[in-house]
Structure 1
Amino acid sequence: MTQAASADALPLATREEYNEGNAEHRQLRRIRGKLPWLLFAVCVLEFGERFVYIGLSGPLQNYIQIPYPHNSNNVPGALGRGQATGAALGNFFKFWAYLCTVFGAIVADQYLGKFKTIVYSVPIYVIGMVILVATSTPMSITSGAAMGGLIATMILVGLGTGGLKSCIAPLSAEQNTSFTSYIKTLKSGERVIVDSQLTNASIFMWYYWAANVGSLSSLITTSVEKAHSFWVAYLIPLVVFLMSLGFFLAFSKKMTTSPPQGSAVVDAVRTTAIAIRERGFDNAKPSALTARGRLGEHTFARSNERYTDTYVSDIRSGVGACKYFVLFPMYFVVWIQGFSNLVAQAGSMRLDGTPNDLMQSLETIFMLAFIPLLDMVIYPFLSKRGIHLNPILRIFMGFICAALGMMYCCVLQYFIYKSEPESIQVWVQTPAWVLMALSEIWVIITGLEVAFLKAPQSLRAFVTSMFWLTVAFGAAIGIGLSPVSEDPYMVWVYGGIAVAAFLSGATFYLWFRNDIANGIDGAPSGGLSALTGVEVGKGAVHGVGEDDKNASKVNVASSKATFVA
């Protein structure tokens, strides 16, 4: 592994340095640079991790809810604990897995670094999956060992997920070593700005695209579960994960990563505590403390060489990123419905041989289509016409799509109750998955990039884990809803979640609507804002590859758009 290059790295001699103060430069159109080829290796690992996690989660509701070997609708099962217990255990699994991202981030940022944290998390993950394969055989199910094996698997896979999810996304972005924006001349003779921020934004898009390719594993596991058995369905993702790990390790020595920063997380907490006592991060800067004669009041500020004005600003930026995530738990209440209650809803509809838990794969399929469509067609088309969707608007749009998806499920559930059993075709559920796919693109990908852009280099994994922690909070809310997550209450469950998601989205927009005008400012000194010379939230537009001839010219001085999706 190589350490991340200095933020002060200069453009290559063959490139013209970009000067934002130059009026001529500001009139040039912006494009993204070439994506780093090592991103592919990191994305393969993310593909493998999601292949296992979603491959496990896909059949989980049936595994817990339906008795062995199947119910009257020929839906396979194992434990026979009912819909409410299935939803509760599924939510617990997600809560635990995403809570563990915090532990993984602390280990990565303070002790091991991202790469070693990933490597040490893998054996824990693999042992959990081996236990699940062994205890989901017909002999284990009938002997009563399946429940204990499932709980052990949830705990171990959750620990492994925590180490992987907190590190893979920031590691993928760190492969972009072209830190500064620069000007180049295309073969056509046109001079353009190659914007590192746009490159990084596209990295997150394609990172998440790879994750969703891995999520297609539920198509395989749900089909194998129905056609053969649960243990074979769970064995396949384990084998794929090990293969993806081997590919990742083969290129690991060439990857770039930032080293662990010792007590980075603890120091950040201490700095935040000083800011609280001094009523603001500006007042917590050593220059301000010295001017007011209060530097001696804080041992950490007085004795630590790291504690500078720039460091305090970086911590403020990282903490500031977390404010955008406050309402995300309500979004993830919607998101987790796709793994539990929507699967159960599909099971009550006319299947005609379609596995009910296969339906959740529709969301993945739609995302695989929407991500390149948005990145390469729709966003450049809008940008060419002066329409630049701010990340605040994107997140708001994601919440609204989530609310509409749940309202659709509410209406559909009403008609299921009013109709003859298993009379409504399962594919009628499709519009809900379309809306949830769009919401996931606009909420989750945006959140991941905001976390990376706002975090100081020493805390990238930790701030990313704060984003993933909102999944745990959403799952906790889902656990609270579990007692009523069964017939005949599902109309009220879907309707209530829809209203809550809408209100959360509206509140998010009202709280942060000023950022539409001002941008998401305050990127840390180690973030892309400083590295590219472009203030985060200002001047970046949706773009496509270097060879695109149709991207629009943008006046950077007046544009406030940011490519965060």
Structure 2
Amino acid sequence: MVSGLDELAPTTPAAGSIDDDAKLSISEEDQFDHVPEGGRAPTALELATLRRVSAPVPWPAYLVCFAELAERASYFGCTAVFTNFIQRPLPARGNGAGAPPAGTQETAGALGLGLPAASGISLTFSFLSLALPIFAGVLADTRWGMFKMIFIASLIGIVGHVVLVIAAVPTVLRTGNAIIPFAIALFILAIASAAIKACVTPIITYQCPIDTPRVQIFRPGEKVIVDPEVTMQNMLMIYYWAVTVGSVMPIATTNVEKRSGFWLAFLVPGILYFVLPAVLAATYYFKLIKMPPMQRSVVADAWRALSIACKAAGAKTLFTKGPAWEAAKPSSTRTFGWDSTFVDELRRSRAAFKFFCFLPVYIIVDTGLTTLFVNMAAGMTTDGVPNDLLTGFNALVQVITIPILNFFVYPFFRRAGVNFSPLRRIMFGFALTSISMIIGAVLQWRVYETSPCGYSASKCTIGTGVSPLSLWSQLPLYGLPGIAGVFINVTGYELSINLAPQRMKAVIFAAQLFFVALASAAAAAASPSFHDPHLIWPFVGLAVANALAIPIAYFVLHDIDREQKAVFELPVLVPAASSDPGADEEKR
């Protein structure tokens, strides 16, 4: 998944040796142009014709990713069992820790607050985890620094898990007051999650070994461009892989919940948090990574500049022509904490923001309906399998899908001349999500039709209390959105990196998380309506919404492919007679 340079040597390429993927030949004079050992800046002709490759990814980037892996394992491992913990009461003949009697169709439970409360509390936790990174990023930029923020967050996460385990021990559950330490633990864990998410990605991108394109010798006889943008994409793929691997934790926690109880289910995903401070301390002590410098908060400056531009435009102009960006630029009569280039960078990032507006439509399906999926599974025949086991299947599908796409599907498309551009990937992802919601609506209808309690299936106690439909029929509800996430989420990271200049990458990523938080807020607002006999309609509504997102995305984002392509084709001007790699270089 991560590509690097196998061998870089100052050899002279032979004529006609350029890779066929370039599809354009280079002039004879350019082919025999000398490439020094350290490389040199590319000419405009080389930018148009040479193949672009990644620089070797520094291995300490994997250590930074461990923080995100620990945070995601904690987040998904715990949220996977939140629904049962909040919604369902303690099993009457269970072990007192929330686990049901062995060999029955009963489901684990603890608080017994019902489905609307389970949805509302779980989605509020998700909202806080995704909305707070903006504030954590400001604090890291201006006060503590990003690495220190991650270290402090790891300690906060340990405290959160300790409190969460206390809330789930049998003696506390029997008192009927477990909701108090549980709510405190959720708030603490949301802070830890937000602080880590705000800082990991900027630190990873700061480890990029190059900041401008360089011509190097990849294999004997082939010149290539070692591209910082391609390198950044590979580094972020490592990040997304860590997110995905951590997201598989529900497979463990749901089984522990079913067989041992909630206190151990909350402890297991916290183990990585207990290890994380030691990993971070060693990374800092041995100076394994570059530390981003303290600076003015880019997030705060971006909000201020955008506010000034919007206010100057006025309501009418704002909706017809957009913000008045010139008003946010410094001049001889007014000064700000930023320069004119910063405002131009903010304006250039608008394409990514347009894409982010579509994210909530997908995210509500991917994470906002988890409580409905788990509730549906509780009304199906499980045969001893935890009703929330499949919450980890989404991530497992992504772990398998990403390498298949990277190493087989995408290379095949390129050889066949198929342009599977970012916009097409986004539209395909929405199509998969819409299909999954159609399947969800049909499944929920069949559960109602075949349950002993009919359209009151969520609290059925007649007979076995469940429909004869198997739990495993839910696999498409998790698998299809998981595959769609590879096309939608990964494309979002790609756009964030490619369309945002270096200073704006943290802003764009924080904004992407905020739009995801809006999806959690929307789902939380709708959660009071999540009850029998109306559980079919959320699936129907989201099937329609994701289907409509396909043509709307085409019309709203139709320029996004061209804008991304333009980023890679911006010339780096180097005089033909210059032998200095940095002479007259115009950075992208």
Q: 1:380 to 1:34 in 2, by over 3 A?
A: farther
Q: How do 1:430-441 and structure 2 match up within 5 A?
A: 430-441=475-486
Cα gap change, 1:249 to 1:82, in 2 (>3 Å): same
Count of paired positions = 505
Task: Give yes or no for contact 1:184–1:191 (8 Å, CA) kept in 2.
Answer: yes
Equivalent in the alignment of 1:349: 380
The within-5 A match list for 1:264-303 is 264-279=298-313, 280=323, 283-284=326-327, 286=329, 295-296=332-333, 302-303=334-335
Partner of residue 21, structure 1: 44
Give 1:188 shift: 4.7
- Structure 1 residue 18: Cα displacement: 4.4
Aligned to 1:425: 470
Partner residue of 1:193? 225
Matched residue, 1:471: 516
Distance 2:561 2:225 in 1: 23
Aligned partner (choices 364, 369, 376) of residue 395 of structure 2: 364
Return the alpha-carbon distance in structure 2 between the equivalents of residues 186 and 264 of structure 1: 37
Aligned to 1:55: 77
**Secondary structure at 1:258 match in 2:** coil
Question: Match for 2:255: what amino acid?
Answer: S
Gaps of 5+ in 1: 1-11, 297-301, 535-565
Q: Which residue is 1:547 aligned to? A: none
Give 1:254 shift.
Answer: 2.2
- Partners of 1:180 and 1:533 within 8 A in 2: no
Q: Which moved more, 1:435-444 or 1:383-392?
A: 383-392
CA distance in 2, matches of 1:55, 1:465: 23
**155 and 73 in structure 1: CA distance in 2 versus 1, 3 angstrom threshold:** same
Displacement of 1:201:
1.2
**Structure 2 unaligned blocks of 5 or more:** 1-34, 92-98, 314-322, 452-465, 574-588
Query: What amino acid maps onto 1:48 in structure 2?
Result: A
Tell which deviates more after alignment, 61-70 or 416-425. Answer: 416-425
The alpha-carbon deviation at position 91 of structure 1 amounts to 1.0
Shift of 1:338: 5.2
How far apart are 1:234 and its partner, in Å? 1.0
Q: Distance in 2 between matches of 1:533 and 1:73?
A: 66
The secondary structure found in structure 2 opposite 1:184 is strand
Aligned residue number for residue 168 of structure 1: 200
Distance 1:65 1:491, change over 3 A: same
- CA distance in 2 between partners of 1:165 and 1:419 (Å): 43
- The one-letter code of the counterpart of 2:183 is I
Q: 1:50 offset after TM fit, Å? A: 1.0
Q: Residue 511 of structure 1 aligns with which residue?
A: 556
The CA distance in 1 between the partners of 2:565 and 2:531, in whole Å, is 41
1:91 to 123, 126, 130: 123
* Higher relative contact order (Cα pairs below 8 Å, separated by 6+ residues): 1
The answer to whether the 8 A contact 2:160-2:188 is kept is: yes
Provide the aligned C-alpha RMSD in A: 2.6
C-alpha deviations, 1:509-560, integer Å up to 9, x for none? Answer: 2201122334376x7xxxx998x959xxxxxxxxxxxxxxxxxxxxxxxxxx
- Give, in angstroms, the shift of residue 459 of structure 1: 4.5
User: Which TM-score applies when normalising by structure 2?
Assistant: 0.80
Question: Judging changes above 3 Å, is the alpha-carbon distance between structure 1 residues 180 and 48 closer, same or farther for their aligned structure 2 residues?
Answer: same
Superposed, which structure 2 residues align to 1:10-409 within 5 Å? 13-22=36-45, 26-69=48-91, 73-252=105-284, 253-279=287-313, 280=323, 283-284=326-327, 286=329, 295-296=332-333, 302-304=334-336, 307-318=338-349, 321-337=352-368, 339-409=370-440
- For 2:219 and 2:184, the matched residues in 1 are separated by 58
- Cα distance change of structure 1 residues 20 and 281 upon mapping to structure 2, 3 Å threshold: farther
Larger Rg: 2
Secondary structure of 2:208 counterpart: coil
Aligned-pair CA distance for 1:419: 2.1
Query: In 2, distance between residues paired with 1:182 and 1:47?
Result: 32
1:333 and 1:154 mapped to 2: Cα distance? 20
Kindly tell me: are residues 248 and 391 of structure 1, through their superposed partners in 2, closer, same or farther at Cα, counting changes over 3 Å? farther
Q: Secondary structure at the match of 1:30?
A: strand
Change (3 A) 1:20 1:392: farther
Structure 2 contact 444–535 (Cα < 8 Å) conserved: yes
Correspondence for 1:502: 547
Shift of 1:318: 4.2
Partners of 1:109 and 1:458 within 8 A in 2: no
Pick closer, same or farther for the CA change 1:115–1:457 going to 2, 3 Å. farther
